[in-house]
Amino acid sequence: MDSRNGSVSETPLDAEIESFFDSAPPLKDSAGIIKKLKEFIEYNSTPPGKGSPRRVVCVTSGGTTVPLEQRCVRYIDNFSSGHRGATSTEYFIKAGYAVIFLYRRGTFQPYCQSLPEDPLLECFECSDDSTIQVRQPHTEAVKRAVSDHHAAIAGGHLLKLPFTTIFEYLQILQSIAMSMKDLGSLAVFYLAAAVSDFYVPWKSMAEHKIQSASGPLDMRLVQVPKMLSALKKEWAPMAFCISFKLETDSKILLEKAEMALKKYRMHMVVANELSTRKEEVTVVTGNEKILVCRDKTQADSDVEEPLIELIVGRHSAYVKDSDL
Ligand code: PAZ
């Protein structure tokens, strides 16, 4: 019996996964998150009027942290900016998908790419009568960002859920996947987040700030259980699943991507190398390796546009096959 969702599972979560969730600190507002998910999925499954159910994609974005203390002062982090996830979200919505955007707090957000990053306040000025105005040359970019973002939220096509730690990320991902289970083949997972491979189990973590007076720090990190197996086998077995593989050594990249494809039974693995990730990726499937590149003749092009186009095509074929 899987007590978290109250259902009997045929293949019980393996012991490592179970122990990860059992020992994780409780997720804040778990009931609120599950309620938001339920409403979002229900709304997109039976859209107003006679519209057909929307496809729903969970886009994960940004990196997870690994806290070193329960009352966390220090943590291990990684480089991910969330650019891939935020940009892909915009293209999925444009293609007619509803997006659950599971993102690291403080990373890139959909529709904000043309805004100055640092500082955002550069965009605004206060006039004499205390109204806030957008400064030139940012007027058009702010107008477009605000209207596209608000339209996606108001139209019920974008649900944003933030995480910081590896614990929050995996707990929310599990809730999302279980909520999407009944969507069958209409569900997609696009797992672009950079997820920590190692963590300090909550129970063996120091409660208070680690003191330097005790000398060199000797700390044991254990492997984060591979949740992709549980996602594919139990949480949402009919979903179309795309995972990402990042390496800095291009010699091992494709081999590692192929291994992940087979081991976790993904439909696609997007392989990218750190230094060229914004220029090109290779999509690995059961029998192909497809190089997807940014259109270098266009200054503002990105690799996500052709990538999402390819994924939408493959997902459509998958939905059609599943209907037969
Ligand atoms: O977030 P970002 O745009 O800076 O980078 C995207 C990415 C490299 C994190 C993503 O494409 C990716 O490969 N994610 C999985 C990383 C991994 O192998 O854990």
pLDDT digits (tens, 9 = 90+) for 230-274: 999 999 999 999 999 999 999 999 999 999 999 999 999 999 999
Q: Is 82 close to ligand 1, i.e. is its CB under 6 Å away? A: yes
pLDDT digits (tens, 9 = 90+) for 195-211: 999 999 999 999 999 99
Among 80, 226, 294, 303, which is best to mutate for testing ligand 1, by the most ligand atoms less than 8 A from CB? Answer: 80
From the list 52, 76, 54, 56, the residue with the least C-alpha distance to 64 is 76
Q: Is 195 close to ligand 1, i.e. is its CB under 6 Å away? A: yes
Closest atom of ligand 1 to CA, residue 197: 19
What ipTM goes with this model?
Answer: 0.99
Domains of the chain and any CATH numbers = 3-111+156-210+219-323 (3.40.50.10300)
Determine the pLDDT at residue 7: 45
Q: Is 64 close to ligand 1, i.e. is its CB under 6 Å away? A: no
Determine the pLDDT at residue 227: 95
How many CA within 13 A on the CB side of residue 117? Answer: 8
Closest atom of ligand 1 to CA, residue 245: 18
- pTM > 0.95: yes or no: no
Q: What is the mean pLDDT of the segment spanning 287-314?
A: 97
Among 76, 91, 244, which is best to mutate for testing ligand 1, by the most ligand atoms less than 8 A from CB? Answer: 244
Q: Is 246 close to ligand 1, i.e. is its CB under 6 Å away? A: yes
Helices assigned H by DSSP within 75-165: 83-94, 139-154
- Ligand 1 centre to CA of 22 (Å) is 28
Q: Nearest-5° angle of CA 196, CA 198, CA 199?
A: 95
By percentage, how much of the chain surpasses pLDDT 90? 83
Q: Confidence band (pLDDT; 50, 70, 90) for 12?
A: low
Q: What is the mean pLDDT of the segment spanning 71-83?
A: 96
pLDDT digits (tens, 9 = 90+) for 151-209: 999 999 999 999 999 999 999 999 999 999 999 999 999 999 999 999 999 999 999 99
Q: Is 110 close to ligand 1, i.e. is its CB under 6 Å away? A: no
pLDDT digits (tens, 9 = 90+) for 16-69: 999 999 999 999 999 999 999 999 999 999 877 777 899 999 999 999 999 999
Is pLDDT of 127 > 90? no
Q: Confidence band (pLDDT; 50, 70, 90) for 323?
A: confident
